[in-house]
Structure 1
Amino acid sequence: MPTQTETLEQRLKAEARRLGFAACAIAPADAAPLARERLKSWLEAGHHGEMLWMEERAEQRGSPQGLWPEVRSVLMLGMSYAPGRDPLALAEVGDRGRISVYAQGRDYHDVVKKGLKALARWLVEQQPSALKVFVDTAPVMEKPLAAAAGLGWQGKHSNLVSRAHGSWLFLGAIYSEIALEPDAPEIDHCGSCTACQAACPTDAFPAPYVVDARRCISYLTIEHKGPIPEEFRASIGNRIYGCDDCLAVCPWNKFADSAAANRAFIGRAELAAPELGDLLALDDAGFREIFSGSPIKRIGRNRMVRNAAVAAGNSGDARLIERLRLLTADEDAVVAEAAAWALERLSRS
């Protein structure tokens, strides 16, 4: 039971912990004033690639008030998905596909939004007011706002880093018209470390704190719909959905406790190290069956098989040749091209 001395903010954070959030902090709505200009510069440089929605809703994304003028406070929430094993363990296992840690469990959109809605209902019960909840799909700059609220800082890989949870937090936001007492922002603790920059297989960082999505393996395997540019294919290795390299090497991860991870994000066994041969044989029905309830389902069968074909070309595994031959006649031209490339590459290995 709350005591008479507990503030609304203290009770709010306790309720957030009860609902499965590992971190909760508050920022005023105007707490990230530089975010708008940084976003503008990033877009003008073309670093967003084919993610046109970033450009189309830039004004709304630039500040909380740009999306909702009535907002006075931003509640930033984080759910931990800290892995229990080394995300880089499969780097040399050529016949297996590597799936980013965040996508091996349940779809974070569903899990985080459920928690946010429950916390929002609680807050309205305590103090009736208007609010809005957001998880990833809305024009909200979660990372600058999370840094402004004190959940962590944006590292040189541009992602949030927490002293308590390392690089492994899913972020969600609640915009509220209540003027809540804000927390102190976090300072940058990267120092002279460049581990994340050095680890990137495709040199996706033109400068510290700036990522060029067009060179990023996560973008290429998830957001990019066409053929993966040949200059990046060898560097993709056996990554078939996302890339953890810049996150996994961050020294702050030594403080992240996998026991703090929300159990919904514990990886499914069949997604820990899927065989490339099985992925190459997927049809639409098979894809939907395997990836039901996973964020991977959003890319569809064709992009997954395209990615698996590129990984097969890098595998050196002649057992995959027959599957690739069949895919050269695939109805999807992008899949067929990737399979032909992989066949040619395997013939030289």
Structure 2
Amino acid sequence: MMKTAMEKLVVVGAGITGASSAALLKKILPDGAVVKILDKSRGTGGRMSTSRCSNGKSATVDLGAQYISINLHYAKVHQSIHEELISQGLLKASTCVMEGDKFGGEDILHYVAPAGISSLVKHFVKQAGAEVAYEEHVTKVDIENKKVKLTTLKGQEELCDGVILTMPVPQILQLDGSIRQLIDSQPKVKENLENVSYSMRFAVGLFYDPGVTLSYPWAVKYFRDNPCVCYIAIDDKKRGTESDSVGPSVVIHTSVPFGMKHLEEDKDSVKDIIMKHVKELLPDIPEPAEVKGHKWRYSQIHKSYVNEPGCVVLSQTPPIILAGDAFSHSNLDGCLTSSSSVRDAFINCTGLDQPTNRL
């Protein structure tokens, strides 16, 4: 196969799949090739986001993914990447008390991210040497003269030799441009994309000033019977990073049924309802210095793309590849599986050499 010229690759989505795909593809791209990541948010992480309080006096809080659970299968499959993250201090084995753990088991080990869960995504972005452009919402994808042209909500245009789209599937289906014809021309692919569904939930972060003590015997607790709250964590305690000079932080996640019930409401209108339930569950919890709410419209995969292929190639020339947990499953290893599939599909599309150091 003749190699395809590949001077610029764009990844849409600065979450873990986008970042790890960029890192893997950088290894096989020609010297001098540019990797650029576009994201509509204001920071790196996607659903692995870490939030900071406005005054900097409190610990950061993970509003999305909370910790990394690795089973024996993926401990072998992704051993090298796990070891890399652990050796660099980005992951460490969890030693905190988890009450009502829903994801435990003899074959599962939990890991925490001491610097916040978004540090994992930032690690891959750095590996990729990628330029990241924030607050760039891609709305249109076209093919012009064997190149891909991306147009953002601001009217910015990016011309590239290939694109990896890692945003949630409903957002892919909303894109304008020739990508619509590509999807329409593949009825089975379109049907499978339309059948993908996500759960939805709200999250709330509580930030406290230094000197405040949260006297609970656990760092993480699941609540099975509450109509609103399903999970509360003292984030700095969960990570093992408590400090006298920095105030503690707490994260609350709602249940999926609560999220679906309040689907059309915004994060601020629901925040007071959530806090009411928190105070019923933890009557002695101190008043926080700051409260941040977040709405995860696409929290976790409820129904994945059929057979979980890892990625879907919409176009080979130029490469347009769909990826993310929708094509695998919603955890770190699901996203790494997707990015490995992207790498293999990209090699097949372009004829670029396969790297010797596989994920």
**Richer in helix (by share):** 1
**Richer in strand (by share):** 2
TM-score tier after normalising by the smaller chain length? under 0.3
TM-score (norm 1): 0.24
